[in-house]
């Protein structure tokens, strides 16, 4: 055992490194028969030591092999560590793709930031351009005149031709936008207007002159277009028209729908239609479906504008809906027969288009009204030979038309006081 002690010491040290218990390992070794050792307790010491050496030798060889394996594993571990240290991104397959993706991500962030900056710049520019367009457009309207007067001369009707009547209007000798009227004594009077429509001019030509005013309503301005004249001169035809030859009312809404669609990328519009008549200074809603006539009064709103609480406001989305509403309102309008006209309008018919606009760029909102008015015909009471209720109607009509003339005169002269309160029609349609 003396010459084996160094080897045993080495084995013990290796077992300690492997965190093994030498005594436990020896006891659990398959080559060690502990029962045999206990049974031979009476044998000599030399025989016991010999047997123990023979049993210990295979254990030593196993642990020596394990020690070598551990040493080899350590070498492999060191080699792998050295390989890991020299590994870079270029060492992996597809590293070019990774680099390209990283570069694209950075470029995307740059482009995104640039896009947001350009979008904001375009929004600011769009806002400025819209404001400038609106200013210039309405400046042109103002240069033409905030109050503009057109004259439309209708052709002779069949009854007038049958009676041998001739036109007293002279267009040939007149200058542009001027006409001459021949009186009963053959004297001629000259009149000048902003525009003159001859008998051959159609409904489209009439609306072409009024359409710029219609577009101003989409810009947030209050606009009023009305037809004024004697009974039987064609005011209702000009404003309402027929199925085949529609007038200003229908064409105005058609234009509003068209322009609002063009601006749909920057503006959102909502249109509402109201229709009322002023009959003997009383206001009547023409769009009430159940036929009940409500008593409506003119009130001043908190914003200082004149409103009619309870007046029907019907949202419209297409022109076909508008035409049905116009026909429904016209059917219940007050009419009567006079010597001047078999179906004379005995009331002022007011079509109000409410335009709500919202700018999708800056959120600015606008609200405006477009009034399209078919006035009752002006009449000379003695000439039309009316009495009773018709006489009362004529007196109210002439009074309100006289008040309208006073309002227009005050607006044209830019006086401080506008006498719009003297008649229901002027009070309803006037906006400061």
Pairing between strand 335-336 and 348-359?
unpaired
* Residue 56 among known ligand-binding residues: no
Please tell me whether 363 is known to bind a ligand.
no
Q: Is 10 annotated as a binding residue?
A: no
204 token code pair: 């489209």
Angle between helices 5-17 and 45-85 (to 10 degrees): 40
Q: What would the 3-class secondary structure string for 225-289 be?
A: EEECCECCCCHHHHHCECCCCECHHHHHHHHHHHHHHHCCCCEEEEEEEEEEEEECCEEEECCCC
- Is 231 one of the annotated binding-site residues? yes
Question: By C-alpha distance, which of 71, 77, 78 is closest to 14?
Answer: 71
HSE of 404 in the Cβ direction (CA atoms, 13 Å)? 23
The response to whether 34 counts as a known ligand-binding position is no
Cβ atoms of residues 183 and 225 within 8 Å: no
To the question of whether residue 357 is assigned a binding role by annotation, the answer is: no
Q: Which of helix, strand or coil describes residue 70?
A: helix
Residue 229 is labelled as binding a ligand? yes
CA dist., res. 364 & res. 333, Å (int):
38
Query: Cβ(369)–Cβ(217) under 8 Å?
Result: yes
Kind and range of the H or E run holding 182 = strand 178-182
Residue 230 is assigned to a ligand binding site:
yes
DSSP H helical ranges for 33-88: 34-39, 45-85
For residues 106 and 101, what is the distance between their CA atoms, to the nearest angstrom? 9
CB 401 within 8 A of CB 420: no
Residues contributing to the annotated binding site: 229-236
* Known binding-site residue numbers for ATP: 229-236
């Amino acid at each position: 055992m003396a010459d084996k002690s160094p080897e045993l010491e080495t084995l013990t040290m290796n077992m300690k490194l492997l965190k093994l218990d030498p005594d436990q390992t020896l006891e659990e070794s398959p080559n060690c028969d502990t029962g045999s050792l206990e049974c031979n307790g009476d044998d000599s010491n030399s025989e016991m030591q010999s047997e123990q050496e023979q049993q210990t030798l295979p254990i030593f060889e196993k642990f020596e092999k394990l020690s070598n394996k551990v040493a080899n594993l350590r070498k492999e571990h060191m080699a792998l560590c050295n390989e890991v240290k020299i590994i870079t991104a270029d060492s992996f397959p597809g590293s070019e793709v990774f680099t390209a993706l990283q570069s694209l991500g950075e470029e995307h962030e740059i482009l995104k930031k640039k896009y947001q900056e350009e979008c904001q710049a375009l929004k600011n520019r769009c806002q400025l351009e819209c404001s400038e367009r609106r200013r210039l457009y309405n400046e042109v309207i103002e240069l033409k005149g905030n109050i503009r007067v057109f004259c439309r001369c209708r052709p002779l009707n069949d009854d007038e031709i049958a009676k041998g009547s001739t036109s007293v209007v002279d267009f040939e000798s007149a200058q542009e936008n001027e006409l001459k009227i021949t009186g009963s004594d053959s004297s001629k009077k000259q009149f000048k207007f902003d525009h003159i429509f001859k008998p051959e001019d159609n409904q489209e030509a009439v609306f072409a002159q009024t359409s710029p005013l219609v577009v101003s309503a989409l810009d947030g301005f209050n606009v009023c277009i009305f037809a004024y004249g004697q009974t039987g001169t064609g005011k209702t035809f000009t404003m309402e028209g027929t199925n085949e030859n529609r007038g200003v009312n229908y064409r105005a809404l058609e234009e509003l729908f068209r322009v609002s669609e063009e601006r749909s990328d920057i503006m959102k519009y909502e249109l509402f239609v109201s229709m009322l008549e002023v009959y003997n200074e009383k206001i009547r809603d023409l769009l009430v479906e159940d036929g009940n006539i409500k008593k409506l009064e003119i009130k001043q709103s908190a914003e200082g504008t004149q409103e009619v609480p309870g007046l029907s406001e019907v949202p419209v989305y297409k022109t076909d809906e508008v035409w049905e509403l116009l026909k429904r309102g016209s059917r219940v309008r007050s009419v009567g027969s006079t010597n001047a006209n078999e179906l004379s309008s005995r009331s002022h018919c007011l079509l109000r288009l409410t335009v709500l606009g919202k700018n999708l760029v800056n959120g600015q909102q606008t609200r405006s009204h477009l009034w399209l008015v078919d006035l009752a015909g002006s009449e000379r009471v003695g000439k039309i030979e009316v009495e009773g209720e018709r006489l009362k109607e004529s007196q109210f009509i002439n009074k309100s038309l006289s008040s309208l003339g006073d309002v227009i005169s005050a607006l044209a002269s830019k006086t401080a006081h506008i006498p719009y309160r003297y008649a229901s029609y002027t009070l309803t349609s006037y906006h400061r």
